[in-house]
């Protein structure tokens, strides 16, 4: 099974600027969907007073946010045509 490519790898592999933009927008859309799903899970856990689920969902939200925010400057630089700093 092929390994999943990072957002930076996918943008670097794209030649056309429109394709780079499309890749970045798809990535942002998936990020938003993931965040909203985690927020729904948190709300459900609060309503159900399920503190194990709440802790798990908050940990996931933190991990996802940290990973995506770390990638965001790289994505912006790649879309802008700058070297990856």
User: What integer pLDDT is reported at residue 61 of this predicted model?
Assistant: 97
Determine which helix (DSSP H) or strand (DSSP E) holds 7, and give its type and residue range: helix 7-13
- Rounded to whole angstroms, the Cα distance separating 32 from 42 reads 15
Query: Per residue in 51-74, pLDDT tens?
Result: 999 999 999 999 999 999 999 999
Asked if residue 69 belongs to a domain, the reply is yes
Asked if residue 2 belongs to a domain, the reply is no
Does residue 2 or residue 75 have the better pLDDT? Answer: 75
Does residue 48 register a pLDDT over 60? yes
Specify whether the CB–CB gap between 53 and 41 falls below 8 A: yes
Domain count, the chain: 1
Asked if residue 50 belongs to a domain, the reply is yes
């Amino acid at each position: 099974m092929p390994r999943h490519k990072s957002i930076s790898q996918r943008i670097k592999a794209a030649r056309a600027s429109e394709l780079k933009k499309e890749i970045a927008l798809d990535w942002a859309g998936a990020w938003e969907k993931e965040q909203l799903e985690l927020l729904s899970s948190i709300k459900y856990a609060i309503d159900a007073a399920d503190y194990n689920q709440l802790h798990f969902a908050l940990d996931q939200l933190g991990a996802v946010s940290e990973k995506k925010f770390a990638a965001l400057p790289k994505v912006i630089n790649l879309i802008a045509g700058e070297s990856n700093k």
